[in-house]
Amino acid sequence: MTAPPLSPAPTRPATPRHIRVENIPLGIVMMLGSVLLFSVMNVLVKLLSETYPVIEVTFFRNAMALIPVAVVISLQGGWINSLRTERPMGHVWRSVVGLTAMSLTFWSFNLLPLGDAVALNFSAPLFLTALSVPLLGEKVGIYRWSAVLVGFVGVLIMVRPSGEMLTHLGALVALGAAFCQSFAMVAIRQLSKTERANTIVFYFTAITTLILALVMPFVWVTPHNLTDFALLSATGVLGGGAQLFLTRAYSLAPAAVVAPFNYASLLWAVLFGWMLWGEMPTLHMVLGAAVVAVSGLYILHRETRRRLPPSPPAMGGGGD
């Protein structure tokens, strides 16, 4: 899952070290690299969840992501600044909803063709726009509301006009993941008013790893061989690395420029699904995904016009 984080920058005074230096071509390359790494991670998650419990795969995804997170924190500001927080319970809430979104997303990979699951996950910005009114007190105009309604029409097309997939567990899980992800985005926006991006990602990664570690004794399946252990570990390293690429992309170029390339993950999902599982998207899934993508891009356009300059993302959404 590679939906871009939508968090405003912390309200700390700017310093010369944090002056934005744009490099749009490099920003696009970073976004495409992030999408590729996330897409490979999604493939590994789908493959591994056929043998190991989804909760165990999620544990490795978060625990091993601590490695790249620790490297970045050590290089950017150090541990004292990154561990300082004014809202500990806010981090707990963000971790709970983010972990729920990630677990449901990984479960949907196991239940649906990869392309279908990724396409349904892109409905998260639609839920976010709707939730931003009651939870963030934001004003949403007629144009963005219209885009949200059109986007949900796209979702209905994906789950089939007859409503057949509305009773399909995989579709319900994927939409539930998108809904939870929108709550995680809201939590990131709220935390970013006072917290550093590295602080948000560190506490998310650490708290979710701790929560999952408490569950592991009840679901643990010992990796059958070193290859499986390496692949499980790779989900976290790839996910953490992809998030770093994503953050760098938003620091180098405006959101309106790099965010549309995020939809390349749909193409990767379809390609990997066809190559590895013989999965081919249906016509209604393609049409519905196109409608959701267009509505999401329009919402991004309106967000960018309303929030200038575009704000950098928190480093560690990680597929939440």
What gap in Å lies between CA 109 and CA 40, rounded to an integer? 13
Q: What is the pLDDT of residue 8?
A: 40
Per DSSP, the three-state class of 9 is: coil
* Contacts for 135 with CB less than 8 Å, ≥ 6 apart: 186
pLDDT of residue 222: 96
d(CA 116, CA 174): 9
The candidate with the shortest Cα–Cα distance to 31, out of 242, 246, 243, is: 246
What is the predicted pLDDT for the residue at 200?
A: 87
pLDDT at residue 312, as a whole number: 42
Distances (CA, A) of 129 to 6, 114, 126, 319: 11, 25, 5, 18
Interatomic CA distance for residues 94 and 211, integer angstroms: 13
165 touches 68 (CB < 8 A) = no
288 burial level (CB within 10 Å; 0-12, 13-18, 19+): buried
Of 317, 297, 293, nearest to 121 (Cα)? Answer: 293
**Per-residue model confidence (pLDDT) at position 161:** 55
Mapped onto helix, strand or coil, the DSSP state of residue 310 is: coil
Do 143 and 197 touch, CB atoms closer than 8 A? no
Q: Which residues make Cβ contacts (< 8 Å) with residue 104, sequence separation at least 6?
A: 173, 174, 176, 177, 180
Can you tell me the distance from the alpha carbon of 173 to that of 175, in angstroms, rounded to the nearest whole number? 6
Place of tokens 């059109």: 150
pLDDT digits (tens, 9 = 90+) for 253-284: 777 778 788 888 989 999 999 999 998 888 88
pTM, full prediction:
0.84
Measure the CA–CA gap between 211 and 206, rounded to whole angstroms. Answer: 9
Amino acid 20: pLDDT? 53
Let me know: does 104 contact 182? Beta carbons within 8 Å. Answer: no
Q: Does residue 42 contact residue 1 with C-beta atoms inside 8 Å?
A: yes
Phi, psi dihedrals of residue 77, rounded to the nearest 5°: 90, -20
Interatomic CA distance for residues 119 and 4, integer angstroms: 14
Element (DSSP H or E) covering residue 13: none
Q: Which ranges of the chain have pLDDT less than 70?
A: 1-21, 161-167, 305-320
- How far is Cα 272 from Cα 42, in angstroms, rounded to an integer? 10
DSSP 223: -
The answer to whether the CB of 55 falls within 8 A of the CB of 215 is: yes
